Structure 1
Amino acid sequence: MSQPDITQKLTERIDDLKQRIAAWGKRIRRYAERSTQFNQNRLFQSDQKRLYESLERPMVSETGPAPNQADNVAFWRGLWSEPVNHNEGPWREIVASQCASTTPMDPVIITPDDVAQAVRRAPNWKSPGLDGLHHYWLKGACTLSKMYVLIRSKKDKRPNERLVEVLKDPLFDELRKEKPNFADKISIIQGDISEIRLGMSDEDWNTVSNQVHVIFHIAANVRFDVQIKTALLMNARGTREALRLGTDCKNLRSFVYVSTAYTHATRDRIGMVVPEQFYESPAPPDAMIQMAETMSDEKLDAMTPALIGKWPNTYSFSKAVSEEIVRTMAVNLPVCVIRPAIVISTYRDPIPGWLDISSAYGPSGIIIGVALGITHITYGDENIKLDIVPADMVNNATIVAAYETARRQDTKTTKIYTVTSSRNPILFGKMADILLNVGEKIATTKAIWYSYTKEIKYKYVYILLTWLLHFIPAYILDGVCLLIGKPRMFVNIYKKVEKLSLALGFFTTHDWIFKDDNLRDLYQSISPVDQKIFNFDIMSVDWEEKLSFWAAGVVKYLLKDDLKNKDKALRKKSMFRILHYIVSVLYLYVLWKLFKFCIDMLLHLLM
């Protein structure tokens, strides 16, 4: 091709590009004009509505003219113009006749010592695992004499060091002010739920057996991608060993096993009702535990798809096996089961929006990615009902269920309580919109790009967009890091984001109807005063308020951003927004050119 031809070709391409830019400019101007007209029209309609509401209503009705204000005032004042003598009237004779049959009793003065004596039967309790539940007992149970907490060593940290670290959490700030010595009631039991006899020494086992009255079995491995061997040893065998400990307890009043609402939310039950009852176990528990104890990781990993079958992951499968262990071993034991849905941050108590680092493996992890400007595509159906529940409501329901189990002392039937938002649902798309709106007001200074996201319900479309919006930019950024001598990290980050999103995808693209009849009966069985203290009525949740607490909690407690530099964070977000639009236009232009080049090459090869 000669020089004039090349010049002509470039001129034509430049003219074509100018025309396209001019066309896009016209579209943008038309869009801006329409947006302005729409906003003006909306404001006019709002002002017009307020104008009509402020107009004086006509003083007529079907029965004639309405009374004026002076007549109304005179009428109501006249009702109390004459004094009423409440010491006279027929009601006195009625009350006197009803009280005549009452046997007189001497007055009784109840002292604090009498209260402590009345509740002396259940002064101790035990909780395997670290969570927010122990805060409630330390704060509210004044007669609690001892709390045993099962803690394992982790990352070269001994149990007492881990406990000190946990008690430094902001969760305990208010309690620390009210009761500075609250930690004196905590006794550490060194152990591991994945080991035989919970990894406890004989001395500790005997101490718990002789002293503990209430056991909360909460500890579990909650990761969806955990190997089936680990899931079975920690979740299934750990439950068996905890129940054996409960059997040995001489004064056991209540054993609470915390499961999950998704234990039996399997593929064949999508869209169906899941009642509060035991289901058939996916496999014999003893056989599963024996396989986990004797077979190698490689063999078990190869067998995992066949073993879990209709269960979406090893976590829910191991929980289903664990519930079968509870059903068979709960004979002659006061046991109940709590099935919470997806647990998110606290709503009210002890502080709004609190959550711990373990929450990063669930939906809170997605919010972290969005807040940092990393996650732009979320795998989920915006029209499904996402079953989320606040952590404090789950804790309140757990405590009240323990009390009810101890009160009933029914060792023949095991009550199941599902803590769910089925009666007060929120759509996944609406939740995402609320969180994004909250994100416009609550930003973090640790963000690396503009935060936005879109829900995609089709898996292959999600994977395609993930490559376009996540992995291709990640490879480019890692290449830049390689050139300037910085460590490459973006591809690994997006691999973790995709893994988490796909793991949650089964629950964000399908929904179930969880029945909570037992939970409602439990809530109605306690007094109005206790309902305020231990509130777990999901109908009382305002989702916009709750989600704003959740977003702020993720930024404050997971990203460790105290939100003191709010203005700086919002300015940074505004700058990222402008850069995002500029880079997006350039990125789309390059992708279009590459696509067009590939098509031209393909056509050239075919011709």
Structure 2
Amino acid sequence: MATIPEFFAGKNLLLTGVSGFLGKVLVEKLLRSCPEINSIFVLIREKKGLSGKDRLAKILSEKLFDHLHREKPECFSKVKLVPGDLLEDQIISNEDDEEMLLEQVNVVIHSAASVRFSEPLRNSVDVNLRATYKLLEFAKKMKNLVSAVHISTAYSNCQLRTVDETTYKCEVDPFQVMSLCEYMSTELVEELRAKLLKDRPNTYTFTKALTENLVEAYSNQIPIAIVRPSIITGAASEPLPGWVDNYNGPNGLLIALGTGALTTLYSHLDCTADLIPVDYVANTILAAASKQELGNFKIYNCTSGSQNPINWRMFMEKSVDIPLRYPSTTMVRYPRPRVTSYKWLHETRLFLEHYVPVRIIDFGLRCARRQSNAFRLYQRLSNSMYLLEFFATNEWNFINTNTQKLFESLHPSDKAEFNFDVRTIDWDSYVQTYCLGIRQYVLNDDLSNLEGGKSHLRRLKCVQYGANLALAWAAWKVCCAVLPCADLVGLC
């Protein structure tokens, strides 16, 4: 039985989405655990005035690569830039690069995607569906391709309550949707959005479902598998415990709750929080790539809920006191997060504790002729909560039989080095690791500044008590003014 490092030894891999959270972890894991891999070709486009070369240099200078820079600096020569853009007619910018890839690539991992839930339909179709189509067409022409993996999402079929490791045929054809978005105006496409999405909550899940149908159509020509992660969270152990680099999904909400920017959250607390650490996802992808064969199309639900469930109540109970034990200097007010299953209560708290104070702050700053972004930030936070609401108030049963079998088929050394057995996750320690990782790697506030954080928390607590007393006094004065009998009974 060949091990995963033996499979990748001497091979050339093409990776898309290297600038993303998962893409970075894949590169680091391949360089560290598959030292005999020949080359990792990374497809990167110019963006925001930065060339592909500059973007790659910036990626490889991030903290998750520090260990490799110290221990194996020579390994970075294996990471080779390929300028290109999956949204262009010619996805590889240079013809010589194109010929080289067609001749040399053995493995393709397609991780590039737009994960924005609010993305307009046309944009989501272009980035998630059309880009995959172009890559599949390119992969068809590769002369030495032995394996490919497409990264989807466990929520691609979220209109169902039980999701098996199979494709579910969409009511619309992916080629028709691509054609529609190409030839119709953006306004007309958005008008059709509701009819196309039906029971799906956003364009992300819709286009991911279409893309799965497309990938399956190519599975008799390309040795390809699909990996469907659920909610990807910070690393359990690799490359750094708790490592995370973005505000997406629960990361942003935990930051908002932990810094006091948000005090209320709407969720059905007994629903399963299907979280999966990013290193477990990366390991699943590499294991799937090592086992994939032409004519043996597989889908792997990379999820935790069926084997090691944690619900939102348990998750919040484990995370709610961490900001108080490890306070950050980035806190904006004393954190007191409250989660409710009652929509009306959440909306009331949101209005009284966020909308009203933000409007007062805005008014005060404008009177002082100073610019305020408070209301704009409140709107962004409110929109983020709304977009995530669907996933926090519903529950799915993700069947992951293929994923379990994949893990059991691994060599014993691979089970240790490329672990993705979700039964090994200790949620108590993981949630703390994850929350501290957000503090350290997203907020850039490590534990060396803990005393400063504690002092800041004490000040915020005093401010909170003072504000509560002021509100109580104001309420008392209002009562005295509007209740004629208040003075008679000695209240005022």
TM-score normalised by L of structure 2 = 0.92
Counterpart CA distance in 1 for 2:414 and 2:402 is: 17
Residue of structure 2 aligned with 1:178, choices 58, 64, 71: 71
The one-letter code sitting in structure 1 at the alignment partner of 2:440 is K
Correspondence for 1:399: 286
Q: Residue 119 of structure 1 contacts residue 143 of structure 1 at CA under 8 Å; is this kept in 2?
A: no
Correspondence for 1:157: 50
Residue of structure 2 aligned with 1:205, choices 98, 111, 116: 98
Counterpart CA distance in 2 for 1:120 and 1:273 is: 34
Residues 340 and 119 from structure 1, CA distance in 2 versus in 1: closer, same or farther, beyond 3 angstroms? closer
The one-letter code sitting in structure 1 at the alignment partner of 2:17 is G
Counterpart CA distance in 1 for 2:472 and 2:144 is: 69
Q: Residue 205 of structure 1 contacts residue 245 of structure 1 at CA under 8 Å; is this kept in 2?
A: no
Counterpart CA distance in 1 for 2:38 and 2:480 is: 75
Residue of structure 1 aligned with 2:360, choices 443, 454, 476: 476
Residue of structure 1 aligned with 2:132, choices 216, 239, 244: 239
Counterpart CA distance in 2 for 1:451 and 1:536 is: 34
Correspondence for 1:444: 328
Correspondence for 1:125: 13
Correspondence for 1:463: 347
Kindly state the Cα deviation for residue 332 of structure 1 after the two structures are TM-superposed: 2.6
Correspondence for 1:25: none
Counterpart CA distance in 2 for 1:215 and 1:392 is: 19
Residues 574 and 282 from structure 1, CA distance in 2 versus in 1: closer, same or farther, beyond 3 angstroms? farther
| Residues 339-387 of structure 1: per-residue CA shift (max 9 Å, x gap) | 0000000001111010122xx1211011111222101111212211110
Q: Does 1:274 align with 2:163?
A: yes
Q: Does 1:550 align with 2:438?
A: no
Correspondence for 1:338: 227
User: SS at the partner of 2:220?
Assistant: coil
Correspondence for 1:530: 414
Counterpart CA distance in 1 for 2:483 and 2:135 is: 64
Could you tell me which runs of 5 or more consecutive residues in structure 1 were left unpaired when the two chains were aligned. Answer: 1-114, 601-607
Residues 586 and 419 from structure 1, CA distance in 2 versus in 1: closer, same or farther, beyond 3 angstroms? same
Q: Residue 213 of structure 1 contacts residue 253 of structure 1 at CA under 8 Å; is this kept in 2?
A: yes
Residue of structure 1 aligned with 2:217, choices 325, 328, 336: 328
Between the two structures, name the one with larger relative contact order (CA 8 Å, sep ≥ 6).
2
| Residues 84-132 of structure 1: per-residue CA shift (max 9 Å, x gap) | xxxxxxxxxxxxxxxxxxxxxxxxxxxxxxx9xx869851001011221
Correspondence for 2:157: 264
Q: Which moved more, 1:587-596 or 1:540-549?
A: 587-596
Residue of structure 2 aligned with 1:166, choices 56, 59, 62: 59
| Percent identity for Structure 1 against Structure 2 | 28
| Residues 529-586 of structure 1: per-residue CA shift (max 9 Å, x gap) | 2101000010000111111111111111111112321011012112212321331343
Residue of structure 1 aligned with 2:81, choices 184, 188, 204: 188
| Aligned counterparts, 1:82-161, within 5 A | 123-130=11-18, 131=23, 132-161=25-54
Q: Residue 256 of structure 1 contacts residue 336 of structure 1 at CA under 8 Å; is this kept in 2?
A: yes
Residue of structure 2 aligned with 1:221, choices 103, 114, 122: 114
Counterpart CA distance in 2 for 1:476 and 1:280 is: 51
Correspondence for 2:245: 356
Counterpart CA distance in 2 for 1:231 and 1:199 is: 21
The one-letter code sitting in structure 1 at the alignment partner of 2:302 is V
User: SS at the partner of 1:149?
Assistant: strand
Could you tell me which runs of 5 or more consecutive residues in structure 2 were left unpaired when the two chains were aligned. Answer: 485-492
Correspondence for 2:207: 318
By percentage of residues, which structure has more helix? 1
Cα RMSD of the aligned pairs, angstroms, is 2.1
The one-letter code sitting in structure 1 at the alignment partner of 2:152 is S
Correspondence for 2:490: none
| Alignment length (residue pairs) | 474
The one-letter code sitting in structure 2 at the alignment partner of 1:413 is N
| Residues 450-495 of structure 1: per-residue CA shift (max 9 Å, x gap) | 1121113333432232111111101111222223343201111111
Kindly state the Cα deviation for residue 265 of structure 1 after the two structures are TM-superposed: 1.3
Correspondence for 1:301: 190
User: SS at the partner of 2:156?
Assistant: helix
Counterpart CA distance in 2 for 1:253 and 1:164 is: 29
Kindly state the Cα deviation for residue 290 of structure 1 after the two structures are TM-superposed: 1.1
TM-score normalised by L of structure 1 = 0.75
Q: Residue 84 of structure 2 contacts residue 92 of structure 2 at CA under 8 Å; is this kept in 1?
A: yes
